[in-house]
Amino acid sequence: MASRPNGRGGRPGSRGQAPRGKQAGRQGKGAPSRSGRGARPQGRRQDAGRPQAQRRGGAQRPTGDVIEGRRACAEALETGVPIKRALISPGPEADQSLSSLVRRLDEAGVPIERVPRARLDSLSSHGAHQGIVLQTKPFEYAELDEVIANAGSGDALVLVLDHVTDEGNFGAIVRSAEVVGAAGVVIPKARSARVGTAAYKTSAGAVLHLPIAQVPNLATALDRLRKAGFWVAAASEHAEQDVWDAPLSGRLALVMGSEGSGVSRLVMEHCDFSCRLPQRGSVESLNVAQAATVLSYEWLRRTTRGEGADA
């Protein structure tokens, strides 16, 4: 196979110093050279556990997880998510949409309990429950090996989230990943958003269709992905190359940093290269969910046009 452009000195496979400056899903430089998965890029290598019971408004959140909103609840029913019971609070007027969903839940043998709307408000993460909340069993996360197996042997995309803590952003990223056909999403077990109410809602149920792996150590997970033939790219506003010049194709693990500090130094050291999104405006940058969507679609565009690993 032909080699990709490098942009850094040093022998193949060498690891340089960690990038300097802000560590925000945003830094680094250089592009890898490929030969199968043989020669590594020169220079530095930037190598749904549901929420626990919480108190909201003085009320104890039920054990397990909750799903709110009609679309997410319908997705949960259709996908076979184990549901403990449905809590509903119909409005003063007849609601055919809600009645239809409740009927389907009843036919599926789900226990149904009518409760005051204030009860649903106390369980809702953002007040958009639309009159229905499902209490479920804990989300079953995938193993990293399952994500790798789901990637097959050809072009594949895996999203790796470096301590993204906002559940809304997490859900939106999972939604974009599922839409472009990613093989899975990888998150750390500690200090990270989980598959909970907001993630079900903002992912529009995508968390039910895509393997999401929790790992104890992201750096180790990136090394495992590299051994499986993935190049690891960090999204960094401080990168020297922009997305148009970066090798975002083939088997790619795309690392997105946390909302506040971006990609951490240790994780950046385990990445093969980094890239940034160009901008003409004056605001600092897109948020992590928006950036992940743009980069995921750039990978899809190149893959669809046949710009594979050696393009």
Reported as a single tens digit per residue, the pLDDT across 31-65 is: 344 434 444 444 333 334 333 333 333 344 444 57
Q: What is the pLDDT of residues 95-135, one digit of tens each?
A: 788 999 999 999 999 999 999 989 998 888 777 888 999 98
Judged against a pLDDT cut of 90, whether residue 193 lies above it is answered with no
End-to-end Cα distance, the chain: 10
**Are 159 and 173 spatial neighbours (Cβ–Cβ below 8 Å)?**
yes
CA–chain centroid gap for 22, Å, is 22
Architecture of domain 26-47+141-304: 3-Layer(aba) Sandwich (3.40)
Average pLDDT over the chain reads 79
Backbone phi and psi for residue 238, each to the nearest 5 degrees, phi listed first: -100, 5
Task: Tell me which H or E stretch contains 295.
Answer: helix 288-304
| SS3 category, 249 | coil
Alpha helical stretches, state H, 258-287: 265-269
* Strand pairing report for 273-275 and 55-56: unpaired
Architecture of domain 65-136: 2-Layer Sandwich (3.30)
Residue 101 is predicted with a pLDDT of 93
| DSSP code, position 19 | P
The residues spanned by each domain of the chain are 26-47+141-304, 65-136
**Are 243 and 6 spatial neighbours (Cβ–Cβ below 8 Å)?**
no
* pTM greater than 0.75 (yes/no): no
Name the region of 103 (left: φ>0; alpha: ψ -120 to 50; beta: rest): alpha
**Are 181 and 159 spatial neighbours (Cβ–Cβ below 8 Å)?**
no
